[in-house]
Amino acid sequence: MKTHLYKLTCITNMHVGSDSSNYSIVDNEVEKDDLLGCPTIHSSGVKGALRDMAEGLKPDLSENAINRIFGAPAEKNKIETPGAFAFVGAHMLTRPLRASGGNLTYINVTTPTVVNNFITLVNSFDCVPEGLKDLKPIDPIFHEKQFLCTIQDIKIEDEETAPLSIDPMQIELLKTLLGGDFALVQSFEDYPLPVVARNKLGENKNLWYEELVPHHTVFYLIIISPEKCDADIEVDKWLKDESIVQFGGNASIGCGYTLMKKWEGTNDEQKDR
């Protein structure tokens, strides 16, 4: 099989519902990874969003090709057939938090566990970006500070930060991974996602409260294709190096737009397993 690594950057706020009951004041929470506690998009949501995008490519991409990529739904006297491609759920890599005391209004923040999970997944699926092959799992010491940061003399969410003291080479690799200067926090538990009230137009009435993933949040996902497949369903045929993909469907109410980019340097055309 071949593995293809992509980066998703939210260009609007995003809501992908959890479809589960909850007893908090938030009516609609977003999907979260049960272990990491971070926003996630399950594989079925990734597959559905990409199929919707592919449907918009007709007639250049035929219905037959779409069914071969994603699978054909069951019809009368026919059974459902699986698609040739597999889609690993999208995992959050960083999310922005407010910064003050410097030239930034926000900074990308992640956790050691999220970084280490990325390293484990891309190694497991043999799609490590060329520039990140020397990136190692991290276990920084936080002491009494909430945040460890690559920038000095700033506050994040009004909290003091401390310098990130690990191997300088690893810091540079992390900057490559995370897109520049960043901060680490032990957990996002104390920094909940924003919640908005959905109002009925023309009336001072809140219909429901909805949790959102803020724009500039970054996810990554892996797509698995057959080692050999027909030219008309090759991944580059229907998924360009950069594509706008909406996640959350109708439930997103105008949100959920992401820029999906092929992660450079993975050489996925050579990744056979």
For residues 136 and 246, give the distance between their C-alpha atoms in angstroms, rounded to a whole number. Answer: 33
pTM above 0.85, yes or no: yes
Give the model confidence (pLDDT) of 151-166 as tens digits: 998 999 999 999 999 9
Domain of 104 in residue numbering reads as: 2-270
Q: Which residues pair with 246 in a beta bridge?
A: 257
User: 3-class DSSP state for residue 269?
Assistant: helix
Compute φ and ψ for 178, nearest 5 degrees: -100, 0
Give the model confidence (pLDDT) of 111-124 as tens digits: 999 999 999 999 99
Other C-beta atoms lying within 10 Å of the C-beta of residue 85: 23
Tokens of 160: 């003091």
Compute φ and ψ for 97, nearest 5 degrees: -130, 150
Tokens of 252: 């997103």
Nearest to 39 by CA among 27, 30, 28: 30
Q: How many domains does the chain have?
A: 1
Residues sharing a CB contact under 8 Å with residue 35, sequence separation 6 or more, in sequence order: none
Q: Which residues pair with 3 in a beta bridge?
A: 224
Mean pLDDT score, 85-101: 95
